């Protein structure tokens, strides 16, 4: 019995080390729109682009028009809930503006998305929203604020 106990103690570092390595390699908690993923300045730039390029269809207040859906409010948020900002960015990038899809730069698309997040009352952060959809796919669009991590 004592021998088994000794072997177990000797093997503990051999077993624990790979477990610690796995924990170190595990991805950090994923982010959501509630983590402040855009800046106020970016949203202001996006507001300017939005009014020039998007408002004629989606309305001055993002409430939608005859042929364009609202970009704010419950229905909009429900449609995107559970998806990622990358999904929304790709939709904007590939289909908007309707008269010339893909005409805007990635920076303009990201700025418009930041404006949309601000109008939808998601918190401002200290870094600008990414311009790459791959990175935006790591940010979840969640309609409800997740519980505090404290």
78 CB-contact burial (10 Å; exposed 0-12 / middle 13-18 / buried 19+): exposed
| Domains of the chain listed by start with CATH number | 31-140 (1.10.760.10)
pTM metric for this prediction: 0.80
* Residue 47: CB atoms within 10 Å: 18
Q: What pLDDT is stored for residue 148 in this prediction?
A: 76
Q: What pLDDT is stored for residue 150 in this prediction?
A: 57
Rounded distance between C-alpha atoms, residue 72 and residue 70, angstroms: 6
List the pLDDT tens digit at each of the 150 positions of the chain: 555 544 444 444 444 444 443 333 334 458 999 999 999 999 999 999 999 999 999 999 999 999 899 999 999 999 999 999 999 999 999 999 999 999 999 999 999 999 999 999 999 999 999 999 999 999 999 999 988 765
- Largest Cα–Cα distance of the chain, in whole Å? 81
Angle between helices 106-119 and 85-95 (to 10 degrees): 120
Rounded distance between C-alpha atoms, residue 115 and residue 88, angstroms: 13
Rounded distance between C-alpha atoms, residue 147 and residue 139, angstroms: 16
């Amino acid at each position: 019995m004592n021998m088994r106990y000794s072997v177990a103690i000797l093997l503990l570092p051999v077993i624990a080390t790979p477990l610690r390595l796995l924990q170190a390699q595990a991805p950090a908690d994923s982010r959501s729109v509630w983590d402040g993923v855009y800046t106020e300045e970016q949203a202001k730039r996006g507001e300017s682009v939005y009014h020039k390029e998007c408002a004629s269809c989606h309305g001055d207040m993002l409430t939608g028009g005859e042929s364009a859906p609202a970009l704010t409010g419950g229905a909009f948020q429900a449609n995107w809930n559970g998806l990622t900002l990358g999904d929304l960015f790709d939709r904007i990038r590939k289909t908007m503006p309707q008269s010339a899809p893909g005409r805007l730069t990635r920076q303009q698309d990201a700025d418009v998305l930041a404006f949309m997040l601000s109008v939808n009352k998601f918190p401002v952060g200290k870094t600008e929203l990414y311009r790459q959809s791959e990175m935006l796919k790591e940010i979840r669009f969640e309609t409800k604020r997740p519980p505090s991590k404290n």
